[in-house]
Chains A and B, each alone.
Chain A
């Protein structure tokens, strides 16, 4: 019964979406305030019905209703409740429902919190959003319906892929989808602006909080995914340049560019067409990511069930949304008039350079991801593009970006003074050189690459702090007054400082992990110990423990430094009888500067076990830095100008308006 309610709610949501597409758009074109006013309640109703469907499916999972094919295929009675609930989006159908749920959520948020938008703009935004929603609802109902029944119903389900039975599943996909889908709002704003034929600072200010929110969610989602793979896959890797990872990374890169170019539109009323293009591209890359992941055109470690028919459907959606948007862009963007002029060396110039470098970076990732597919289609050759390609192409683009990130914030708008900026950064330069020298002295001449990485990180961190210190007149005034200045700094400025510092921390983490990770594999018997990077890991015993739906081999390890006990560690190898799969549960001991990472392997047949141990210096910083970046985004999101003082739009100049 509840399942039927969910199914019908989905159909009703589609009907409402259809109304939400047509009526507000028509009303906005006609200047009919009544029709325009229909958009927000329609968006709220659409969300209400999608939420009903989503909760119905969640209910079916929670009570193990195996009369639903989807539940029977992806859950089982013995699952702990958390994994029953997260099982909802562990599979294709459920994750598409999560997708439209997020879409509805963002639509409802625009309806509720978009009170400061001009009604026509809001109506157009919501109408475009309903187009995307309708497309995906049709797709769910006709090609991947999670509410299909199963008869006769089985006594127990097939269970969940053991690798997904993890807390990571509870947070990673929802955050990632919130990011993907959140960028749909920027996309809708861009389309609405193209329909209206105008982009101005007010538009940029309205679109910015939505982009920021999506960016924070995506940053968190990607970081969680990488952390999850770090502790789940059992060999300490946190990024593989796998197609599915790239699919989430590309919208992040372009979304970052969008965040920065929107600042230029807001402050200086220029780079308009470019910003619109970035908004379209960011969401298009999210759609391309969905297509690549869901259609199975690329082979990936993320083994999703793939189905060519579904691929055709998503491709049609992608073609309509992206193709249509880019065509509209080609027709309408030339009429967008740029405002302020600026010299190449200026804040605008710096942000433009940031955009060029980020776009290039995204392009290299896109090429590396799609090259195997292109080659396969054109020549039927199978190749795979791996980390060496990305290290060789992506890293060289990031280096100038990191250097410029330190300087850019010190340049003034319109015309900046590069020499003066570098002079103010003498201290940062000295710190960077110091970091490089210390690294070389401590780790030897063959860690030149690592020295460069740490120097870049130190440079960025120091330059960011110098910029902040100058803003609050640190040491130029009494400390109390500097503090008051710091408190009065705009939140957006705090956000930038935090996010740029976070980036520096991430760079240091990546450098440390790629240069100094130590791996030790040994067959160890209980009572023996292994040396690892100055630590000793003692294997005391190996026993068997039972979990709710698995049986595990569990090792009791002691991590010792000299004779001092640092920690007890308990890596497990879990076997899931229902799914007939096993999963390693690694033990990680971190002191925030380095991780000790232990994996228990198979018995060696002589009373011992294969232990794999890793010492990963600086790796925790990758996620600390990412958290700092997301925090910076949130702080910036809380900036006063997004909450109060709805910007008043300049009166439309009396220019000939293109036909709509």
Chain B
């Protein structure tokens, strides 16, 4: 056997160890969305029972919008809700809700109990969620005036997220 063949294992290992080292710097908790900078998916959702407005792609036209995916069965959504109410009160950005895989009555009761920060709500049986690449609830997207998704937040929003990330981004997109 030729000598270089014996060097092969160590060469392969060095390569592998290099990738391991590079891999250590990567945060495996961040799940990026392939939809960033893409146009928001085309959809037209019916309203919750008893209300008139549904939610469709056309609603995002002309203004920067925050799209929040929520459900009454989702505990972190409950934690997030107060933050959204506070944001809605500032009237800096309209918040649109996608009520994800939920029962209509349950969602209505939830809104009635906790307050309604949403300009419009669409009821989704899960199909539109797939198009938005929803991985877990809650998730929040920022859509710009041209209807392109510019930012995605996974998990409940905190006041710090709003102040440090969302609002500065909204201000920049509104310019």
What are the residues of chain B within 8 A of A382 when measuring CB–CB? 31-32
Q: A330 is contacted by which of B6, B17, B21, B22 (Cβ under 8 Å)? A: B6
Q: How far is the CA of A370 from the CA of B7 in the complex (A)?
A: 22
Minimum Cβ distance to chain A for residue B170 (Å)? 26
Would you call A297 and B20 a contact (CB within 8 A)?
A: yes
- From 315 to 354 in chain A, residues with beta carbon under 8 angstroms from any chain B beta carbon are 315, 318-319, 322-323, 326-327, 329-330, 333-334
| A residues in contact with B31, CB < 8 Å | 382
Interchain nearest-CB distance for A258 vs B (Å): 15
Which one of A330, A334, A370 has the highest number of Cβ atoms from chain B below 10 Å of its Cβ?
A330
Cβ contacts B6-49/A at 8 Å (1 or 0 each): 11011001101101111111101001100000000000000000
Report which of B7, B10, B19 forms a contact with A377, defined as CB distance below 8 A: B19
Q: Which residues of A contact B3 (CB under 8 A)?
A: 334
Contact of B24 among A297, A319, A334, A370 (CB under 8 A): A297
A376 touches B6 (CB 8 A): no
Given contacts A319-B17, A373-B19, A382-B31, contact A311 B10 (CB under 8 A): no
Chain A residues whose C-beta falls within 8 Å of the C-beta of B19 in the assembled complex: 370, 373-374, 377
Interface residues on A, range: 20 to 34
| Bound CA span A315–B13, Å | 12
**Any chain B CB within 8 A of the CB of A295?**
yes
Pairwise interchain contact A326-B17, C-beta atoms closer than 8 A: no
Task: Give chain B's interface residue range (CB within 8 Å of chain A).
Answer: 20 to 34
What CA separation (Å) do A158 and B20 show in the bound complex?
33
A319 to B20, CA, bound (A): 10
Closest chain A residue to B22, Cβ basis: A377
Q: Give the complex CA separation of A315 and B16 in angstroms.
A: 11
* Cross-chain contact B13 with A298 (CB below 8 angstroms): no
Contact between chains at A322 and B20 (CB < 8 Å): no
**B1 close to chain A: CB less than 8 A:** yes
Please indicate the chain A residues that have their CB under 8 angstroms from the CB of B13 in the complex.
284, 322-323, 326
Closest to A297 in B: B23
| In the complex, chain B residues whose CB is within 8 Å of the CB of A295 | 20, 24
Closest to B24 in A: A311
Q: Is the CB of B28 within 8 A of A298?
A: yes
The answer to whether A277 and B17 have CB atoms under 8 Å apart is: no
Q: How far is the CA of A323 from the CA of B14 in the complex (A)?
A: 7
Name the A residues within 8 Å of B24 (CB-CB): 295, 297, 308, 311-312, 315
Q: How far is the CB of B12 from chain A (nearest CB, A)?
A: 9
Structural contact, A315 and B10, CB atoms closer than 8 A = no
Residues of A participating in the B interface, judged by any CB pair closer than 8 Å: 273, 277, 280-281, 284, 291, 295-299, 308, 311-312, 315, 318-319, 322-323, 326-327, 329-330, 333-334, 370, 373-374, 376-377, 380, 382
23 cross-chain CB contacts under 8 A: A277-B9, A281-B9, A284-B13, A291-B20, A297-B24, A298-B28, A308-B25, A312-B21, A318-B17, A319-B17, A322-B13, A322-B17, A329-B6, A330-B9, A333-B6, A334-B1, A370-B19, A373-B19, A373-B20, A373-B23, A374-B19, A377-B22, A382-B32
Q: Knowing that A318-B20, A323-B13 touch, tell me 5 more A-B residue pairs with CB under 8 angstroms.
A: A295-B20, A297-B20, A322-B13, A377-B19, A377-B23
